[in-house]
């Protein structure tokens, strides 16, 4: 920072103590992180009092800008494919692009075999009845699970799923080309800013090597010869902002309030080989019990994300009069505002006991339930 200038100069610098030197201002490391005491107040003072920036950023402006950006990117004639995952992000991205392009948008929902309990049926109903988005459903579970068989490394799993997704989209584009007489050249994705941050080196950092935390399937996991130009209208937004944008676009509230679900689906919640016998089926049942209990206790909206994790280990138990050697599952529930940091949710003991008893009684092959009490950092939200 050049302190010789008489002009007011402001910047936010990690690791520099709050001080004022020759009209230069700096503030402490990571004021935006929820855990930083008075972090928001520091940012407010910095932006509004010191930098004299006005708070004129509005979601309506974002919507107008993004509609214009989609028009500019896709042009007047081209067609676009959008992959709906059943989550909030892709639904909001699709609704926005549908508003911009109308029937030049072609939505596809891929059942890759990694969906939650009855997810395909539930999502299909929401798209058709509430979002009024025509969607083609593709059952690609066999081909995706075949690619995952035997893979245990989390990054390898992510990359395999990403590559298969793209192969499926290319097939879909070929079908559309036959029907429309022109090949869709664009792919809409609900990529958010945290996906970008965690998959790439920070912008302007000049880092040659990424400090990749994980290859989010829609950022780091894409092949170089994609064959589509990406349209990512949510790329600069955080989850809470996407929910506000969705509300502005008329996406129904219960859908917007759904907990986030990661693109690679249950593959990041079955540790190790996703195709291990019974793993996905067991996980679906456990997850459904946990989420239903959370809803019944009126806690769903107080939690950012809750889910079950299937562990590739067995432990000894006793059920009835018999010794068992059965699966262990973990439960995870966190509070967060943007998924970048998170705290574990403090359920009361009676709730956890009830969930654990129900799971062990109702899900064959599970004899032990653990509750994850790690925050992010040091853990991430998903186990992978």
Q: List residues near ligand XMP by CB under 6 A.
A: 195, 198, 216-217, 260, 262-264, 305, 339, 376, 380-382
> 252 and 102 in contact (C-beta within 8 Å)?
no
Residues counted in the chain? 384
Closest approach of ligand XMP to the CB of residue 31, in Å: 20
3-state secondary structure of 301: helix
Closest approach of ligand XMP to the CB of residue 216, in Å: 4
The verdict on whether omega for the bond into residue 378 sits within 30 degrees of 0, i.e. cis, is yes
Residue (170 or 376) nearer to ligand XMP, CB:
376
Residue (130 or 258) nearer to ligand XMP, CB:
258
> 109 and 127 in contact (C-beta within 8 Å)?
yes
Closest approach of ligand XMP to the CB of residue 376, in Å: 5
Residue (78 or 212) nearer to ligand XMP, CB:
212
In whole angstroms, what is the distance from residue 40 CA to residue 25 CA? 16
> What token pair was written down for 31?
């004021």
> 335 and 302 in contact (C-beta within 8 Å)?
yes
Closest approach of ligand XMP to the CB of residue 366, in Å: 22
Q: Helices 59-74 & 88-101, crossing angle to 10 degrees?
A: 60
Closest approach of ligand XMP to the CB of residue 206, in Å: 24
Closest approach of ligand XMP to the CB of residue 151, in Å: 15
Residue (31 or 263) nearer to ligand XMP, CB:
263
> 117 and 284 in contact (C-beta within 8 Å)?
yes
The secondary structure element, H or E, covering residue 135 is: strand 135-139
- β-bridge partners, 333: 306
Residue (185 or 299) nearer to ligand XMP, CB:
299
Residue (24 or 305) nearer to ligand XMP, CB:
305
In whole angstroms, what is the distance from residue 304 CA to residue 351 CA? 18
In whole angstroms, what is the distance from residue 200 CA to residue 232 CA? 16
Closest approach of ligand XMP to the CB of residue 256, in Å: 15
DSSP state of 342: B
Residue (45 or 376) nearer to ligand XMP, CB:
376
């Amino acid at each position: 920072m050049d302190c010789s200038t008489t002009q007011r100069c402001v910047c936010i610098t990690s690791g520099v103590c709050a001080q004022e030197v020759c009209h230069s201002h700096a503030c402490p490391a990571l004021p935006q992180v929820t855990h930083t005491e008075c972090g928001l107040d520091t940012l407010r003072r910095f932006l509004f009092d010191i930098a004299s920036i006005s708070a004129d950023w509005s979601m309506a402006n974002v919507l107008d800008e993004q509609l214009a950006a989609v028009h500019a990117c896709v042009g007047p004639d081209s067609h676009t494919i959008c992959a709906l995952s059943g989550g909030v992000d892709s639904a909001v991205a699709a609704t926005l692009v549908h508003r911009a392009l109308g029937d030049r948008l072609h939505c596809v929902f891929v059942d890759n075999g990694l969906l939650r309990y009855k997810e395909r049926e539930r999502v299909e109903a929401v798209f058709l009845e509430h979002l009024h988005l025509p969607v083609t459903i593709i059952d690609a579970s066999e081909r995706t699970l075949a690619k995952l068989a035997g893979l245990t490394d989390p990054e390898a799993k992510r990359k395999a799923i990403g590559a298969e997704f793209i192969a499926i989209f290319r097939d879909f584009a070929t079908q559309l080309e036959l029907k429309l007489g022109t090949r869709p050249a664009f792919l809409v994705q609900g990529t958010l800013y945290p996906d970008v941050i965690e998959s790439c080196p920070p912008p302007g950092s000049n880092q040659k090597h990424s400090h990749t935390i994980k290859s989010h399937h829609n950022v780091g996991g894409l092949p170089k010869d994609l064959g589509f130009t990406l349209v990512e209208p949510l790329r600069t937004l955080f989850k809470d902002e996407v929910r506000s944008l969705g509300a502005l676009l008329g996406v129904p509230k219960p859908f917007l309030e759904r907990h986030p679900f990661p693109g690679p689906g249950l593959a990041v919640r079955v540790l190790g080989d996703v195709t291990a016998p019974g793993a996905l089926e067991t996980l679906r049942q456990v997850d459904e019990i946990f989420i239903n209990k959370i809803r019944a206790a009126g806690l769903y909206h107080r939690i950012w994300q809750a889910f079950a994790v299937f562990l590739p280990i067995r432990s000894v138990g006793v059920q009835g009069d018999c010794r068992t050697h059965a699966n262990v599952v973990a439960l995870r529930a966190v509070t967060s505002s943007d998924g970048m940091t998170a705290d574990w949710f403090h359920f009361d003991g009676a709730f956890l006991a009830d969930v654990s008893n129900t799971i062990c009684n109702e899900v064959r092959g599970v004899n032990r339930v653990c509750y994850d009490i790690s925050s992010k950092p040091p853990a991430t939200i998903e186990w992978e």
